[in-house]
Amino acid sequence: MDTPITTMPVIDFWFEFGSNYSYLSVMRIEQDAARAGVRVRWQPFLLGPIFQALGWNTSPFVLQRAKGDYVWLDMERQCRKYGLPWKKPGNFPRSAILPLRVAVLAAEQSWMAEYCRRIMQMNFAHDRDIDNREVVTAVLNDMGLPAAEIIAQALSDENKLKLRKQTELAMHKGIFGAPTFFVGEQMFWGNDRLDDALRFCNDLLIHPDA
């Protein structure tokens, strides 16, 4: 018997389309969470303002050459591990403001997960500029969605403010990178902590007062 969605444990998934490790999590979280009986709450946000608050003008993978060299080798290994296509972006980190505005608008829609996977693949499998109306339109059209209407809503002042507030909330919660997962007030950082976060969800369901 399926667990009613209102009683399923919840994982908040904070991610950014320019984040390479978010790519790994976006591509697997829905399937892994379903297998664990956990509901995903999608939380798109902008990493740039968080990096700026930390005194960085770009990703630490760019600022620290040795770390960056390691990360690209690690991404090749991780994508082989998960069976994911991979192409190192020619421009990193890529701006993702438009696709994130669409994601904020769509966070509770049934097509959110598929949209996120497609945008991530544009960046990390096809090396495309994703902060681009043509690319976002093509993704939405290919999904059979009214692209022009969705993009117009995403570009409204109200929705732009919503993304800013999401980013401010991420900073308030102490998020310093992506992907980050929250189970209640417990934070888990990094793609390699997704499995731990999902297990913690089920531990809370079994031992709610723990």
pLDDT digit string, tens, across residues 87-110: 999 999 999 999 999 999 999 999
Residue range 137-160: mean pLDDT, rounded: 98
Half-sphere exposure of 125 (CA within 13 A, CB side): 14
* Number of folded domains that form the chain: 1
Residue range 170-195: mean pLDDT, rounded: 97
Among 19, 22, 25, 59, which one carries the catalytic annotation? 19
Give the sheet arrangement for strand 39-44, strand by strand. Answer: 39-44, 10-15, 180-183, 186-189
Question: Mean pLDDT over all residues of the chain?
Answer: 93
Greater model confidence, 194 or 57: 194
Residue range 14-32: mean pLDDT, rounded: 98
- CATH code, domain with 164: 3.40.30.10
* Among the listed residues 158, 82, 173, 63, the one whose alpha carbon sits nearest the alpha carbon of residue 120: 82
Q: Is 95 among the residues known to form the active site?
A: no
Q: Give the integer Cα–Cα distance in Å for 116 and 103.
A: 7
Per the structure, the complete domain to which residue 55 belongs is given by 5-206
